[in-house]
Amino acid sequence: MRTPIISIIVPVYNVESYLSCCIDSILNQTFSDWELLLINDGSKDGSGTICDLYASRNNRIRVFHQVNQGVSSARNQGIELAKGKYLMFIDADDYVAENILEKMLYPAEIYNIDVVLCGVTTSSDIKLNIPTYRVLQHDFIMNGLYPLWFNGGCNLNSVCAKLYRRKVFLNNDIRFENRRRGEDWLLNIKLFQRIRNIYYLPLPLYIYVRHADSAMTAYLPEQFELWIENRNIWHHIIEKYRLRIDDKSFNTQWITKVFYYLLFVVYSDNQYRKKLANILHSKELYSACLNSYLVRPYSFQLLKILLKWHRHIEIIFLLKIMSWWIYKHSKK
């Protein structure tokens, strides 16, 4: 049986409106030695039928149907089934430029690269501000890129817009963890510690589509708890590798996210008062405030008073003002 150079893994769940655009962008590639693994994760719409139709027309496409287990399970299934030398993950509601495989494979082969990154074009504010170096060796990843990533200087949280050498996953037993959000971030955290080098290709070859049903725009009740877990993971990495990290800068950025999330809670959760109270009284938020550049615990006292008085409109207004002020001053 033919062994492709690149295995493209696309988890599929209820994306019938976007799926054809995604698959067509892969079929139109200038590089042709690939296989496409469509992992239908228990879709309830016509996504599974669309997958089967494309597979019947092209022998490079393989479809696997499973009961709904989440995107991590679908991607892990793809990793186990993949035959290619390299892996690429594409979300089913996104699409790619016709030359993404050709452009990313070239440096991977010529320079023997473990992970190739490309740019993302999107209407949202996703940044990839990697320095102008093209080939980043392991020492720079740990001592330069990790601190930059940690302090919000670049966004490497997604597994999309990347070409991975498959043996890095297999040799280090790296797989996606089953989380509601942040599974990409956690996998990259683990994998980047194991790779020899990275190549950055500053071309916007991956098209990220933001829409109302996107998982990243949906309200997640346990988001704050996940952020606490992520913060603890970062601190473990800092201590393990003795990274040069400005803890106050990270805490300030972390608190900024929390404030925006508090607004999301007010707008999205019918029991927002209880949720806000739990967050505002958390010891993690209190300690972060004590060790930040901009925020102090007394900033939350007025919010607590307004919560007690059931002042919904005033809470929203105050959160907007505080979020704007923190964001503005954290960029200085």
Per-10-residue mean pLDDT, the chain, length 332: 91 96 97 98 97 98 97 97 98 95 96 92 52 59 58 70 97 90 85 90 88 57 78 74 71 77 75 78 80 65 70 74 64 52
Cβ density class 2-36: b for 16+ within 10 Å, e for less = eebbbbbbbbbbbbbebbeebbebbeebebeebbb
Given a contact cutoff of 8 angstroms between Cβ atoms, the answer to whether 46 and 15 are in contact is no
pTM for this model (two decimals): 0.78
Distance CA 221, CA 217 (A): 12
Instruction: Find tokens 């919904």 and name the residue.
Output: 312
Phi then psi dihedrals of residue 328, to 5 deg? -60, -45
Torsion angle of C-alpha atoms 120, 161, 252, 313, degrees rounded to 10:
60
pLDDT computed for residue 230 by the predictor: 75
pLDDT computed for residue 106 by the predictor: 96
pLDDT computed for residue 24 by the predictor: 97
Domains recognised in the chain with CATH numbers: 6-216 (3.90.550.10), 219-330 (no CATH)
